[in-house]
């Protein structure tokens, strides 16, 4: 099934993203639960205003600075991430010199292969997490996600985990790793446990991370270290929640969200 998204549709962008996920599902890349997880993210994006807010931008800067100063940075890729931003993930990995590792909850050799093919088509040269020879476990995790690559997440000091599950974020943090999460829900366990939480849609966030990586690449380590030091995740999450609060408070006064609705009702009154 491939529905054309009509031009000019008010939710065109969001529908196009859904189409990408459905195609990813049909290719065996995205899990059923991945489709549901996306819906939860969309709901938060609606409330946030479907834009990258300032606290997200600050988290992006800190996250990129942290990746650039890391010893062994790793980007963990699941089905939704591979379906939505494969090229951008490969680009970011190159810019910050990070390894890419496939790590999925609903594990099967077919799914791992489908994700690998997609990442290779996007230009990835080395993909970890697919060769059994290098497989080891993180005992703190009970799901299939406990299998990690000895060359990747196992020895990483910084792990970027887009659209992550809370259990694993908690486990990685408890193992002493710095975890960067991309999650539209500032209240999720992932968002709360992460070292740096970027509350933004992955489709907006990863291209912005690439831009910032290009900007910060040449800076010296001290300066990058200062950017990381200055960032306070708890304070930043407060700012995200305040943004939501203020936006909803504004809307609660008007009761109307869409300008076109407002126009029609005004005309009817006149």
Kindly tell me which residue out of 102, 184, 194, 240 binds ligand ATP, with binding defined by CB under 6 A. 184
Cβ count near 188 (within 10 Å): 22
Residues 65/224, Cβ–Cβ less than 8 Å: yes
Least Cβ distance, residue 237 to Mg ion (angstroms)? 18
Rounded CA gap, 80 and 236, in Å?
25
Nearer to ligand ATP, 37 or 208 (CB): 37
For residue 99, the minimal CB distance to ligand ATP (Å) is 22
Q: Give min distance, CB of 66 to ligand ATP, in A.
A: 19
Site string for ligand ATP, 141-180 (x = CB under 6 A): ----------------------x-xx--------------
Q: Does 68 interact with ligand ATP (rule: CB under 6 A)? A: no
Smallest distance from the beta carbon of 261 to ligand ATP, in angstroms?
A: 26
In the complex, least distance from residue 14 CB atom to ligand ATP, rounded to whole angstroms: 10
Rounded CA separation 66/178 (Å): 9
Q: Which of 183, 213, 228, 240 binds ligand ATP (CB under 6 A)?
A: 183
The smaller minimum CB distance to ligand ATP, of residues 149 and 183, is found at 183
Tell the smallest beta-carbon distance from residue 69 to ligand ATP (Å): 24
Selected from 164, 165, 183, 200, the binder of Mg ion by CB under 5 A is 165
| Contact criterion met (CB below 8 Å) for 225 and 69 | yes
Name the segment binding ligand ATP (CB under 6 A); options: 2-10, 88-96, 185-193, 237-245.
185-193
- Choose among Mg ion, ligand ATP, none what residue 40 binds, the Cβ cut-off being 5 to 8 Å by kind: ligand ATP
What's the chain look like in SS3? CCCCCCCCCCCHHHHHHHHHHHHHHHCCCCCHHHHHHHHHHHHHHHHHCCCCCHHHHHHHHHHHHHHHHCCCEEEEECHHHHHHCHHHHHHHHHHHCCEEEECCCCCCHHHHHHHHHHHHHCCCCCEECCCHHHEEECCCCCCHHHEEECCCHHHCCEEEEECCCHHHHHHHHHCCCEEEEECCCCCCHHHHHCCEEECCCHHHHHHHHHHHHHHHCCCCHHHHHHHHHHCCHHHHHHHHHHHHHHHHHHHHHHCCCCHHHHHHHHHHHC
183 interacts with Mg ion by CB under 5 A? no
Among residues 91 and 170, whose Cβ is nearest to ligand ATP?
Answer: 170
- The interface region with ligand ATP, picked from 6-14, 38-46, 152-160, 239-247 by CB under 6 A, is 38-46
Residues of this chain that interact with ligand ATP (CB under 6 A) are 37-38, 40-41, 44, 163, 165-166, 182-185, 188-190, 201-202
């Amino acid at each position: 099934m491939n529905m054309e998204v009509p031009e000019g549709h008010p939710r065109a962008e969001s529908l196009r993203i859904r189409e990408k996920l459905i195609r990813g599902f049909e290719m065996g890349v995205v899990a059923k639960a991945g489709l549901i997880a996306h819906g939860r993210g969309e709901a938060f994006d609606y409330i946030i205003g479907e834009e990258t807010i300032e606290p997200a931008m600050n988290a992006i800067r800190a996250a990129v600075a942290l990746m650039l100063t890391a010893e062994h940075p790793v980007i963990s890729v699941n089905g939704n991430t591979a379906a939505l931003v494969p090229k951008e993930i490969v680009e970011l990995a190159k810019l910050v010199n990070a390894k890419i590792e496939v790590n999925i909850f609903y594990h099967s050799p077919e799914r791992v292969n489908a994700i690998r093919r997609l990442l290779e088509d996007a230009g990835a040269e080395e993909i970890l997490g697919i060769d059994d020879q290098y497989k080891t476990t993180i005992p703190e995790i009970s799901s299939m996600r406990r299998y990690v690559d000895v060359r990747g997440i196992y020895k990483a000091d910084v792990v970027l985990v887009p659209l992550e599950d809370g259990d694993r974020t908690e486990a990685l943090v408890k193992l002493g790793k710095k975890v960067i999460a991309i999650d539209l829900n500032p209240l999720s366990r992932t968002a709360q446990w992460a070292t740096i939480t970027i509350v933004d849609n992955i489709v907006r966030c990863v291209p912005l991370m690439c831009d910032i990586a290009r900007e910060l690449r040449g800076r010296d380590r001290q300066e990058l270290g200062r950017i990381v030091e200055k960032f306070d995740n708890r304070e930043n999450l407060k700012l995200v929640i305040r943004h939501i609060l203020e936006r909803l408070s504004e809307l609660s006064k008007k009761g109307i969200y869409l300008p076109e609705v407002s126009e029609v009702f005004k005309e009817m009154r006149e």
